[in-house]
A and B are shown apart, each in its own frame.
Chain A
Amino acid sequence: MSLFSDPFNSSIRLRCECGEHASAAEHEASRSRKLESSSEALNARVVEQAVMRAIFPEDSLRRRFLQAVGTPTALAAISSIFPLAAAQEAFAQGSGKLEKTNVKVGFIPITCATPIIMADPMGFYKKQGLDVEVVKTAGWAVIRDKTLNKEYDAAHMLSPMPIAISMGVGATATPFTVPAIENINGQAITLAIKHKDKRNPKDWKGFKFAVPFDYSMHNYLLRYYLAEAGLDPDRDVQIRVVPPPEMVANLRADNIDGFLGPDPMNQRAVFDGVGFLHILSKEIWDGHPCCTFAASKEFMTTNPNTYAALLRSIVDATAYAQKAENRKEIAAAIATPNYLNQPLTVVEQVLTGTFADGLGAVKKVPDRVSFDPFPWESFAVWIMTQMQRWGQVKGDVDYQKIAREVFLATDARRAMEQSGLKAPGASTKTFVIMGKTFDPAKPKEYLDSFAIKRT
């Protein structure tokens, strides 16, 4: 009996039942292949088999029993004496024991962290047997230091951060990993109300902008957008780092003219009558990654089962968050003082995509923010080209190697399949940013093609 053959199939080994295969063995092989594509069903099958083997040490006995009572009856009878469902679930939680069940995960109170946050009140961590404390943190530098200090086991980070930390740029070099992206899109350029007639970026000379961190997609996207309009982001405007929660306060105080920031801060500026949404970040690059779920390589190798369980919770939560019909429920769960601490309507507008634009119009963009866990290696390569473009990294970079080591596409693929999601087969893809195609196989040529750069 092959490992994955159906123990409730009494006719096994006699002949091929469907007639498609020359022998029973070949028939089984094809079944197993089909089964393997769904690992959940596969796990269930392995458990059933173990139970049946224990009850019927002799295979002939098992076959006679099944023939006598029929498969459904046998299944019901055995389920009544042995909790098959519970055993299958226990098995799905990973073959190994969790090394650590009390886990601390840091987050910044923004909607990018939705899967990390909602997994707590909505029970996605508990489902994997984890007791996770999600801790609100004051800023990206603090979250970086607390994760490097091991106060946090894993954390919500901006997607360029784990790459920068692994490369030792702006931090002590520590190998970090990104097993899952949190969100794609979901950022915006917000300008102060007084600039409502300056919608062309060419008129923005002398503006002061805020971004959440040097190593952030926000910084790279804003620079990209400005440079496409012919403005040099280092000379024609001022870009300063302001933690997301302080962006609206600064915009209100006229300290800055605008920001490319995460939600709900953009929507909050509208809510308070301080700013308006110039464009959503998806209009710059539709499908750009933003925040990630990151952990150090050390945590991954010393606690592989806990790491896998965390990843499964995040992927499950991400899949749940992606469905439009769940968005209102999620908004209510995460807008509370314990998590985002924002008015419910602000979070709801961000997640549902029906929002006030700050200039008197109600817009409907259902995919304003999307949740997709797959960490494309090409994302990492693009980020590295931008680090070089703006002088954060000097010299040659081994793009593909770093991308592979930090963005763990394989782990994500496995976790996605376990959650019943369709994971892409490839780990790289090309994409288009403001009309310009990026080919991950040719990062150097891409970098050279820009007119405004600091290389």
Chain B
Amino acid sequence: MLGREKFRSFLLSVLILAVFLAIWQIASMPSTGDQVVDEEYAKLVGSAAATGQKSSFPTPAEVGKKLFEQLSNPFYDRGANDKGIGIQLAWSVSRVALGFGLAALVAIPLGFVIGMSRLIFSALDPFIQVLKPISPLAWMPLALFTLKDSNVSAIFVIFICSIWPMLINTAFGVAAVRKEWIDVSRTLEVRPLRKALMVILPAAAPTIMTGMRISIGIAWLVIVAAEMLVGGTGIGYFVWNEWNNLSIANILVAVLLIGVIGMLLDMCFARLQRAVTYRD
């Protein structure tokens, strides 16, 4: 019964995709207008301009062709400013990993402290609430000006944007550990460090993992914007470079790959989250 349901949902997904592609194909069909300019002029401009139109949105077939081109040779290196999409994605993922890792190192211990003390929580709450909604693009000029290194700045922006959900969730998870469990550990005279690691951490782990899952999503969102700004390497730079060339097909390829990688990252954390979930 369950297998059948799964099959039907899969079928529906494929159908939705097919309809979407068909609509896209029809909507982006190049209209075959007559050439309105002379031969010499037509040679100097794009095919759309020669028929008196603006260049049009690429068709799914064109995007598919570009996707195949990019994926069949993802690791080429033709100089500092022209590297394959695989290398660019690797750069972005490593930046995210570094920024996110640093954020986790800071957010989880700090969240513990905040969660265990109502006083500190209330004192820090206004700062967290103000800093949390700041866009990565607003941090970027500040980071470049003060840190004086574009690569470090990009990692800093990932760090500062992905720290908040982890911090808040850790604090919340720690604060919400059932009082009875704490009381039991107190009765058994468990030392504070042991209490934190053996009682509170496992109890708060599902909430912490939820925070980390939100954060990795944010980090992946932010990296594209940050790399578009500082340039050099990464998938964000790739998008910017293709925008520069007005190559919508290549941008769509990048958009698709950004989505896929984002999904994979989310799946990793979903699995981790399931691993630490417990039933009361």
Which A positions have Cβ atoms within 8 angstroms of B? Answer: 109, 133-138, 141-142, 145-146, 148-151, 193, 245-246, 248-249, 252, 268, 270-274, 336-339, 341-343, 345, 349, 354-356, 358, 360-362
Contact B46 A271 (CB under 8 A): yes
Q: With both chains docked as a complex, state the minimum distance between the C-beta of A209 and any C-beta of chain B, in angstroms.
A: 20
Contact A356 B144 (CB under 8 A): no
Top 9 A-B pairs ranked by shortest CB distance?
A273-B49, A245-B244, A338-B82, A338-B79, A356-B44, A149-B148, A138-B231, A136-B81, A272-B55
Q: With both chains docked as a complex, state the minimum distance between the C-beta of B85 and any C-beta of chain A, in angstroms.
A: 12
Q: With both chains docked as a complex, state the minimum distance between the C-beta of B248 and any C-beta of chain A, in angstroms.
A: 10
**In the complex, which residues of chain B have a beta carbon less than 8 angstroms from the beta carbon of A151?**
148-150
- Pairs across A and B, CB under 8 Å, 29 listed: A135-B232, A138-B230, A141-B141, A142-B150, A145-B141, A146-B144, A146-B150, A149-B149, A245-B240, A245-B243, A245-B244, A270-B44, A271-B45, A272-B46, A272-B48, A272-B54, A272-B55, A273-B46, A274-B54, A336-B78, A337-B82, A337-B241, A341-B241, A341-B244, A349-B44, A354-B44, A356-B49, A360-B41, A362-B44
**Best-surrounded residue of B44, B79, B231 (most CB of chain A within 10 A):** B44
Q: Does B265 contact A (CB under 8 A)?
A: no
Q: Does B228 contact A (CB under 8 A)?
A: yes
Residue of A at shortest CB range from B231? A138
Contact B52 A273 (CB under 8 A): yes
**In the complex, which residues of chain B have a beta carbon less than 8 angstroms from the beta carbon of A145?**
141, 144-145, 150
Contact A338 B245 (CB under 8 A): no
CA distance A217 to B160 in the complex (A): 37
CA distance A342 to B43 in the complex (A): 16
Contact A270 B45 (CB under 8 A): yes
CA distance A361 to B43 in the complex (A): 12
**In the complex, which residues of chain A have a beta carbon less than 8 angstroms from the beta carbon of B55?**
271-274
Q: With both chains docked as a complex, state the minimum distance between the C-beta of A419 and any C-beta of chain B, in angstroms.
A: 26
CA distance A349 to B46 in the complex (A): 13
Knowing A336-B82, A338-B81, A355-B44 are in contact, say whether A249-B243 is a contact too (CB < 8 A): yes
Q: Does B229 contact A (CB under 8 A)?
A: yes
Contact A268 B246 (CB under 8 A): yes
Knowing A272-B55, A273-B48, A273-B53 are in contact, say whether A249-B246 is a contact too (CB < 8 A): yes
Contact B53 A361 (CB under 8 A): no
Contact A142 B244 (CB under 8 A): no
Residue of A at shortest CB range from B245? A341
Type the 1/0 row for B212-247, where 1 means its CB is closer than 8 Å to any CB of A.
Answer: 000000000000000011111000010011111110
Q: With both chains docked as a complex, state the minimum distance between the C-beta of B238 and any C-beta of chain A, in angstroms.
A: 10
CA distance A151 to B40 in the complex (A): 45
Interface residues of B in 1-57 (CB under 8 A from A): 36-38, 40-41, 43-46, 48-49, 52-55
CA distance A193 to B145 in the complex (A): 40
Contact A272 B49 (CB under 8 A): yes
Contact B148 A246 (CB under 8 A): no
**In the complex, which residues of chain B have a beta carbon less than 8 angstroms from the beta carbon of A356?**
41, 44-45, 49
Given A135-B231, A149-B148, A252-B54, 17 extra CB contacts under 8 A: A109-B244, A135-B80, A135-B81, A137-B231, A142-B229, A145-B141, A145-B144, A149-B149, A268-B246, A271-B45, A273-B49, A338-B78, A338-B82, A341-B82, A345-B44, A358-B49, A360-B37
**In the complex, which residues of chain B have a beta carbon less than 8 angstroms from the beta carbon of A360?**
36-38, 41
**In the complex, which residues of chain A have a beta carbon less than 8 angstroms from the beta carbon of B40?**
362
Q: Which of A141, A338, A341 contacts B80 (CB 8 A)?
A: A338
CA distance A134 to B246 in the complex (A): 22
**In the complex, which residues of chain A have a beta carbon less than 8 angstroms from the beta carbon of B41?**
356, 360-362
**In the complex, which residues of chain A have a beta carbon less than 8 angstroms from the beta carbon of B241?**
136, 337, 341
Contact A138 B228 (CB under 8 A): yes
Contact A133 B80 (CB under 8 A): yes
**In the complex, which residues of chain B have a beta carbon less than 8 angstroms from the beta carbon of A270?**
44-45, 49
Interface residues of B in 54-78 (CB under 8 A from A): 54-55, 78
Q: With both chains docked as a complex, state the minimum distance between the C-beta of B165 and any C-beta of chain A, in angstroms.
A: 28
CA distance A343 to B37 in the complex (A): 20
**In the complex, which residues of chain B have a beta carbon less than 8 angstroms from the beta carbon of A336?**
78, 82
Q: Which of B36, B37, B45, B81 contacts A337 (CB 8 A)?
A: B81
CA distance A253 to B249 in the complex (A): 17
**In the complex, which residues of chain B have a beta carbon less than 8 angstroms from the beta carbon of A342?**
245
Contact B230 A142 (CB under 8 A): yes
**In the complex, which residues of chain B have a beta carbon less than 8 angstroms from the beta carbon of A141?**
141
CA distance A349 to B41 in the complex (A): 11
Residue of B at shortest CB range from A137? B231
Interface residues of B in 244-261 (CB under 8 A from A): 244-246
Contact A273 B45 (CB under 8 A): yes
**In the complex, which residues of chain B have a beta carbon less than 8 angstroms from the beta carbon of A137?**
231-232
Contact B243 A246 (CB under 8 A): yes
